[in-house]
Structure 1
Amino acid sequence: MRDALLKYQDIKSHLSVKQKVGQLFMLAVFINDTEEEVAQMEKLIRDHCIGALCIFHSRASAATNFEGKKKVVYNENSYDRLKALIDRYQKASEFPLLIAMDAEWGLAMRIENTPQYPYAITLGALQDQKDLIYEVGFHIGMDCKKAGIHWNLAPVVDINNNPENPVIGYRSFGDKKEEVKSKAGAYLLGMNDAGILNSLKHFPGHGDTATDSHLGLPVIDKSKKELFENELYPFIKLLKEEVDSVMVAHLSLPQLDASENPSTTSKNIITGLLRDEIGFEGVIISDALNMHAVSKRYLQKGGLEVAAFNAGMDMLCFSEHPVEGISQILDSGSKDAVEKSFKRIWRLKEKVFGGAVSEDKAPSLSHKDLNREIAKNCITELWAEKKPLKDWKEHNFLNLSCGTPIANIFSEGLEKELGSKHYHLGEEAVHEEEHQNAVLALFPPSVKPKNNFGIESHILENIQKLISKNEVTVYLFGNPYVLDVLEGIDAADVIVFYQDFPDFQEVALQHFLGKIPALGELPVQLKTLQS
Structure 2
Amino acid sequence: MSIKKIPLLITLCLFATISRAQENSKKTPEFLQYTESTWVDSIMKSLTPQERIGQLIWVSAYSNRGPEHRADILKTIKDWNIGGLVFFQGDPVTQVKLMNEYQNASKVPLMGAIDAEWGLGMRLDSTISFPFQMALGAIQDDNLIYEMGKEMAHQIKRVGLHLNFAPVADVNNNPNNPVINYRSFGEDKYKVAEKSIAYMQGMQDGGLITTAKHFPGHGDTSTDSHFDLPQINHSRERLNDLELYPFKELINAGINGMMVAHLNIPALDPSGVPSTLSKAIINDLLQDQLGFEGLIVTDAMEMKGVTKGNLPGIVDKQAVLAGNDVLEIVQDVSKAITEIKKAVDKGIISQKTIDARVRKILAAKQWVNLNKYEPLPVSNLLLDINNPHALLLERKLTEASLTVLKNEADLLPLKHLDTLKIMSVSIGADKKTTFQKTLDLYTKVDHFTLPMEASQKEMEAIKKELPQYNLVIVGVHDDTPRPRNTIKFSESVQSFIQTLPFNNTVVAYFKNPYSIDKLNNLDNAKGLIVSYQDGESAQDLSAQLIFGGVGANGQLPVGIGKKFKAGDGLTIKGGIRFKYTLPEDAGMDSKTLYHGVDSLMNQAIDLNATPGGQLLVAKNGKVVLHKAYGLKKYNDTTKVSLEDIYDLASVTKISSALPAVMKLYDEGRFDLDKGIDDYLRYFKNSNKADANFREILAHQAGFNPYITYWKNTLRKNGSYKWSTIKKDSSARFPIKISSNMWLHRNYQKKIFKAIKKSALLEKREYKYSGLLFMLLPTMIEEITKEDFVNYVDQNFYNKLGAYTLTYNPDKKFNKNQIIPTEHDFMFRHLPVHGTVHDEGAAMMGGISANAGLFSNTNDLAKLMQMYLNMGTYGGEEYIKESTVKEFTKVQFPENNNHRGLGFDKPFLEYKGVNSNTAKDASSDSFGHTGFTGIMVWMDPKEELLYLFLSNRVLPTRENTTLYKLNTRTNIQQVLYDAIK
Alpha-carbon distance, 1:332 to partner: 1.6
Alpha-carbon distance, 1:30 to partner: 1.5
Paired residue type of 1:26: W
Provide the residue aligned with 1:115 in structure 2: 128
After the TM superposition, which residues 7-46 of structure 1 pair with which residues of structure 2 at under 5 Å, given as runs? 7-46=39-78
Secondary structure at the counterpart of residue 137 of structure 1: helix
CA distance in 1, matches of 2:187, 2:390: 27
Alpha-carbon distance, 1:463 to partner: 1.3
Secondary structure at the counterpart of residue 422 of structure 1: strand
CA distance in 2, matches of 1:365, 1:235: 33
Provide the residue aligned with 1:201 in structure 2: 213
Structure 1 residue 367 and structure 2 residue 390: aligned? yes
Alpha-carbon distance, 1:383 to partner: 3.2
Instruction: Decide which of 92, 95, 101 is 2:108's aligned counterpart.
Output: 95
Residues 530 and 186 of structure 1: CA distance in aligned 2, closer, same or farther (over 3 Å) = closer
CA distance in 1, matches of 2:494, 2:70: 45
Q: Which shows bigger deviation, 326-335 or 93-102? A: 326-335
Paired residue type of 1:463: I
Provide the residue aligned with 1:273 in structure 2: 285
Residues 386 and 210 of structure 1: CA distance in aligned 2, closer, same or farther (over 3 Å) = farther
Q: Which runs of 5 or more residues in structure 2 are unaligned?
A: 1-36, 374-383, 566-980
Q: Which shows bigger deviation, 337-346 or 99-108? A: 337-346
Provide the residue aligned with 1:414 in structure 2: 439
Alpha-carbon distance, 1:29 to partner: 0.8
Provide the residue aligned with 1:336 in structure 2: 352
CA distance in 2, matches of 1:168, 1:55: 21
Residues 203 and 472 of structure 1: CA distance in aligned 2, closer, same or farther (over 3 Å) = same
Provide the residue aligned with 2:506 in structure 1: 473
CA distance in 1, matches of 2:76, 2:495: 53
Secondary structure at the counterpart of residue 417 of structure 1: coil
Runs of 4+ in 1 over 6 A off after TM superposition: 361-365
After the TM superposition, which residues 142-153 of structure 1 pair with which residues of structure 2 at under 5 Å, given as runs? 142-153=154-165
Residues 232 and 405 of structure 1: CA distance in aligned 2, closer, same or farther (over 3 Å) = farther
* C-alpha distance after superposition, 1:187-224 (max 9, x if no partner): 11111121111111110011111111111111111122
Secondary structure at the counterpart of residue 101 of structure 2: helix
Provide the residue aligned with 2:88 in structure 1: 56
CA distance in 2, matches of 1:435, 1:88: 62
Secondary structure at the counterpart of residue 180 of structure 1: helix
Provide the residue aligned with 2:517 in structure 1: 484
Alpha-carbon distance, 1:377 to partner: 2.3
Alpha-carbon distance, 1:103 to partner: 1.1
Secondary structure at the counterpart of residue 85 of structure 2: strand
Provide the residue aligned with 1:519 in structure 2: 553
CA distance in 2, matches of 1:152, 1:200: 9
Q: Which shows bigger deviation, 137-146 or 87-96? A: 87-96
Provide the residue aligned with 2:869 in structure 1: none
Paired residue type of 1:321: D
Residues 407 and 175 of structure 1: CA distance in aligned 2, closer, same or farther (over 3 Å) = farther
* C-alpha distance after superposition, 1:412-442 (max 9, x if no partner): 2334533221100255432234346421112
Alpha-carbon distance, 1:169 to partner: 1.2
CA distance in 2, matches of 1:13, 1:395: 77
* C-alpha distance after superposition, 1:232-273 (max 9, x if no partner): 111111112232210000111011111110101111101110
Provide the residue aligned with 2:767 in structure 1: none
CA distance in 2, matches of 1:15, 1:343: 12
**Contact 1:483–1:528 (Cα < 8 Å) also in 2:** no
Structure 1 residue 376 and structure 2 residue 387: aligned? no
Aligned pairs, how many? 503
After the TM superposition, which residues 148-159 of structure 1 pair with which residues of structure 2 at under 5 Å, given as runs? 148-159=160-171
Q: Which shows bigger deviation, 201-210 or 380-389? A: 380-389
CA distance in 2, matches of 1:272, 1:94: 34
Alpha-carbon distance, 1:10 to partner: 2.9
More RCO (CA 8 Å, sep 6+): 1
Provide the residue aligned with 1:68 in structure 2: none
CA distance in 2, matches of 1:356, 1:47: 24
Q: Which shows bigger deviation, 183-192 or 513-522? A: 513-522
Q: Which runs of 5 or more residues in structure 1 are unaligned?
A: 58-74
After the TM superposition, which residues 109-508 of structure 1 pair with which residues of structure 2 at under 5 Å, given as runs? 109-127=122-140, 129-298=141-310, 300-333=311-344, 334=349, 335-353=351-369, 366-389=389-412, 391=415, 393-404=418-429, 408-426=433-451, 427=454, 428=458, 429-430=461-462, 431=464, 432-435=466-469, 437-446=471-480, 448=482, 452-466=486-500, 471-492=504-525, 493-508=527-542
CA distance in 1, matches of 2:71, 2:387: 41
Secondary structure at the counterpart of residue 518 of structure 1: coil
Provide the residue aligned with 1:66 in structure 2: none
CA distance in 1, matches of 2:101, 2:562: 52
Residues 232 and 407 of structure 1: CA distance in aligned 2, closer, same or farther (over 3 Å) = farther
Alpha-carbon distance, 1:325 to partner: 0.7
Paired residue type of 2:99: I
**Contact 2:172–2:181 (Cα < 8 Å) also in 1:** yes
Residues 274 and 407 of structure 1: CA distance in aligned 2, closer, same or farther (over 3 Å) = farther
Alpha-carbon distance, 1:372 to partner: 2.5
CA distance in 2, matches of 1:16, 1:522: 54
* C-alpha distance after superposition, 1:264-314 (max 9, x if no partner): 11111011100111111111000011111111221x221211111111111
Paired residue type of 2:337: I
**Contact 1:264–1:286 (Cα < 8 Å) also in 2:** yes
* C-alpha distance after superposition, 1:449-476 (max 9, x if no partner): 66825444443232123257x6321112
CA distance in 2, matches of 1:218, 1:271: 21
Q: Which shows bigger deviation, 130-139 or 346-355? A: 346-355
Alpha-carbon distance, 1:345 to partner: 1.0
**Contact 1:399–1:439 (Cα < 8 Å) also in 2:** yes
* C-alpha distance after superposition, 1:351-396 (max 9, x if no partner): 1235689xxx999971222123223322211133343335454233
* C-alpha distance after superposition, 1:311-335 (max 9, x if no partner): 1111000101111010001112412
Residues 169 and 119 of structure 1: CA distance in aligned 2, closer, same or farther (over 3 Å) = same
Paired residue type of 1:172: S
Q: What TM-score results when the alignment is normalised by the length of structure 1? A: 0.89
Paired residue type of 1:378: S
Structure 1 residue 80 and structure 2 residue 93: aligned? yes
Residues 121 and 201 of structure 1: CA distance in aligned 2, closer, same or farther (over 3 Å) = same
CA distance in 1, matches of 2:312, 2:450: 52
**Contact 1:443–1:476 (Cα < 8 Å) also in 2:** yes
Residues 139 and 405 of structure 1: CA distance in aligned 2, closer, same or farther (over 3 Å) = farther
CA distance in 2, matches of 1:402, 1:225: 45
**Contact 1:286–1:316 (Cα < 8 Å) also in 2:** yes
CA distance in 1, matches of 2:185, 2:433: 27
* C-alpha distance after superposition, 1:128-185 (max 9, x if no partner): x121111100111000111101101111111111111111111111111111111111
Q: Which shows bigger deviation, 315-324 or 442-451? A: 442-451
Work out which of the two has the higher radius of gyration on C-alpha atoms and give 1 or 2. 2
RMSD: 2.6
Residues 14 and 399 of structure 1: CA distance in aligned 2, closer, same or farther (over 3 Å) = same
Alpha-carbon distance, 1:407 to partner: 7.5
**Contact 1:467–1:489 (Cα < 8 Å) also in 2:** no
Residues 515 and 48 of structure 1: CA distance in aligned 2, closer, same or farther (over 3 Å) = closer
Q: What TM-score results when the alignment is normalised by the length of structure 2? A: 0.49
Residues 29 and 402 of structure 1: CA distance in aligned 2, closer, same or farther (over 3 Å) = same
**Contact 1:403–1:443 (Cα < 8 Å) also in 2:** yes
